[in-house]
Chain A
Amino acid sequence: MANLDRDRHLTTEQLSAFLDAQLSPAEQVEYNAHIESCQRCQGALASLRQTVALLRAMPQPAVPRSFALPAGVTYLQEPATRQGEPAYTPARRGLPHYMQRSLRIMSTIAAVIGFIFLLSGVLPMLIHGGGTMTTSAGSATAPASPNNKAMQPNEKATNNAPTHTPNKTSPSAGSSPAGTPARGSTPAARTEPKKTSPNNQPPKQAPPVPPIIDLSIPLVRQALGFALLVIGIIGVLLTRRWSPRRM
């Protein structure tokens, strides 16, 4: 019965759409013809129509109060801050990133300057010493470190002061050789100076002090160069280690 009906009669959806005139004109004519000849569909349509009539007869509920928003309230600002929130978080992450970047740049500059100072101490020896190149280079840097350590506490503040002055002239000349030898000296620097790193970094920002050290003395230059190189390498290493942790 039901299967036969479905084949021959209009579905509820068709009747419902017919009632609302939501069919194509052709369909509307076709369905109308069927309904006129079919008592069952007439009945179904009538009951649907009655249901709709009941719904349409439902009174509009009286609005209990005005829903007007209080004047002067700026609701618009709230979604603005909400939208801004996700933008805030990368900004917070970006702040140390900026500092990291500037620290790295400063460290690299310090390392470059340090290397130039070291080189300027070693070069005269190479020129004068000729064949003793390998040994003198080794002895020049090696004894410099114990001396340097002894000098550091006293000279830290003053040592770094001149970095501002040679800064202008030297990096252009020294930037190219800086990359390779700096890497060579990292194993030595890496192991030892880590503990002192927090102490070494702040002096870089220390206010410039009138130069007391005589840079014409090669040993002073070497010591200063080594100190700067160590500080620079530590700085670069530290900023490099921070970045993967943050990302």
Chain B
Amino acid sequence: MAKQMRDDEEQLIARSQRGDVNAFNELILHYQQTTYGVVYRMVGNADTAADITQDAFIAAFRAIRSFRGGSSFRAWLLRIASNMACDHWRRTQRHSEESLDVLADEDEPHAASDLSSLVESGQEANPEEYLLSQELQGIIQRGLQALPLDQRVAVVLCDIEGLSYEEIALTTQSNIGTVRSRIARGRARLRLYLDQYRELLPRNYRLPTNKE
């Protein structure tokens, strides 16, 4: 099955390289969820993420001839998309630094006020299927956005999209050691960030306090 899919993908790539938009659109259909997901988690805004994703697919089609068969098409595609998301982030961060501070200030009282509503009962029994409240999702999203770009890409690809270290290394054009360290530092930083909101976390996710 997996081999069949890979063969199909190779055919679609070959047709795309000959300029077949329809073939490329099939690839887009297959990868748009992952691509959009990565970009969305990196920039944290649906409209911006949609624009970047669209631009990334256009750029990918333009550059499809430079893709070498045999390597991971997903990694190649996600490299284009994550690079564009990083570029966008760097471009817009200069202007939005002030608004980020405002956001951080807002978080504190808000988080303290209605923490009980965030912890939904009954989920502790089944942590794997735990549904994060909208607010907790927002906090985690902001925690991701607080990470340096290299760590953010690595954490998003690893822990949200579930890519292997090897594929992350391909996507970010770095070696496994670098990937490993970026993921670890990103997770540690995110843990610290979430620690501010530990009251919001469901009990089974609550971070241990023995560090204090």
Contacts and interface: CB of A to CB of B under 8 A. Distances in A.
Interface of A: 11-13, 15-17, 20, 22, 39-40, 43-44, 46-48, 50-61, 63-76, 78-79
A52 B187 contact: yes
What are the 9 tightest A-B residue pairs by CB atom distance, in nearest-first order? Answer: A16-B184, A55-B159, A13-B184, A68-B25, A43-B208, A76-B19, A51-B191, A12-B188, A61-B40
B120 to A, nearest CB: 12
12 contacts: A12-B188, A17-B184, A22-B176, A40-B210, A50-B207, A51-B207, A54-B201, A55-B160, A60-B33, A60-B37, A66-B28, A75-B61
Contacts of B57: 67, 69
Contacts of B187: 12, 16, 48, 51-52
Given A12-B184, A22-B165, 14 more contacts: A40-B210, A47-B207, A50-B207, A55-B155, A55-B159, A61-B46, A63-B36, A64-B46, A64-B50, A67-B32, A75-B61, A76-B64, A76-B65, A78-B62
Interface size class of B (residues with CB under 8 A): 35 or more
Contact of A66 (B29, B160, B162, B194): B29
A47 B208 contact: yes
B21 A16 contact: no
Given A13-B184, A53-B127, A66 B32 contact: yes
B47 to A, nearest CB: 8
A193 to B, nearest CB: 56
A82 to B, nearest CB: 9
Given A61-B37, A63-B36, A67-B32, A54 B132 contact: yes
A39 B47 CA distance: 45
A20 B190 contact: no
Given A43-B208, A57-B130, A69 B160 contact: no
Given A59-B137, A61-B46, A75 B191 contact: no
Contacts of B127: 53
Contacts, number: 136
Interface of B: 19, 21-22, 24-25, 28-29, 32-33, 35-37, 40-41, 46-47, 49-50, 53-54, 57-58, 61-65, 127, 130-132, 136-137, 140-141, 155, 158-160, 162, 165, 176, 180-181, 183-185, 187-188, 190-191, 194, 201, 204-208, 210-211
Contact of B140 (A54, A61, A70): A54
B92 to A, nearest CB: 19
Given A20-B165, A54-B194, A75 B183 contact: no
A58 B41 contact: yes
A46 B206 CA distance: 10
Contacts of B24: 69
Contacts of A17: 180, 184
A129 to B, nearest CB: 76
Given A56-B160, A59-B132, A75-B58, A67 B28 contact: yes
B132 A57 contact: yes
B135 to A, nearest CB: 13
Nearest to B123: A57
A71 B160 contact: no
Contacts of B132: 54, 57-59
A78 B47 CA distance: 26
Contact of B210 (A22, A43, A74, A75): A43
B68 to A, nearest CB: 16
Contacts of B58: 69, 75
A16 B183 contact: yes
Nearest to A17: B180
Contact of A54 (B46, B54, B205): B205
Contacts of B162: 56
A61 B207 contact: no
Contact of A68 (B28, B36, B41): B28
Contacts of B49: 61
A76 B159 contact: no
B160 A58 contact: yes
